[in-house]
Amino acid sequence: MKPAQVAELIRAALPGADVAVASDDDTHYSARVVSQSFTGLRGVARHQLVYRALGERVGREIHALSIEALTPAEAAAAPTQRGRLG
């Protein structure tokens, strides 16, 4: 699965999210997801939203996924990794 496909699945589940996904081998991914939906949620709950968006693909086409899940305010305050993610 291409990184762009993973990003689209996440965007479909989290409308308005800013999503960047990278992969060197199309099975191991890193994702940076900035969404208002994360406001008030702890890290585990944020990751669960992203995993839910990907469904059964996790463990099949998606063997590993590193997630950076931020609110827009957190993203504005944090250094960006966009140069790393495509």
7-66 per-position pLDDT tens digit? 999 999 999 999 999 999 999 999 999 999 999 999 999 999 999 999 999 999 999 999
pTM of this structure: 0.88
Residue 9 within any structural domain of the chain: yes
The pLDDT of residue 78? 78
Q: What is the pLDDT of residue 80?
A: 59
- Residue 86 confidence (pLDDT): 43
- Residue 83 predicted with pLDDT over 90: no
- What CATH number does the domain containing 28 carry? 3.30.300.90
Residue 81 has pLDDT above 60, yes or no: no
Neighbours of 34 (CB within 10 A): 23
- 54 belongs to a structural domain: yes
User: Using the 8-state DSSP alphabet, how is residue 47 labeled?
Assistant: H
Query: Number of folded domains in the chain?
Result: 1
Write out the residue range of the structural domain in which residue 21 sits: 3-77
Distances in Å between the alpha carbon of 11 and those of 8, 25, 35, 77?
5, 21, 10, 22
Residue 83 placed within a domain: no
Identity of the amino acid at 43: G
Position 84 in a domain: no
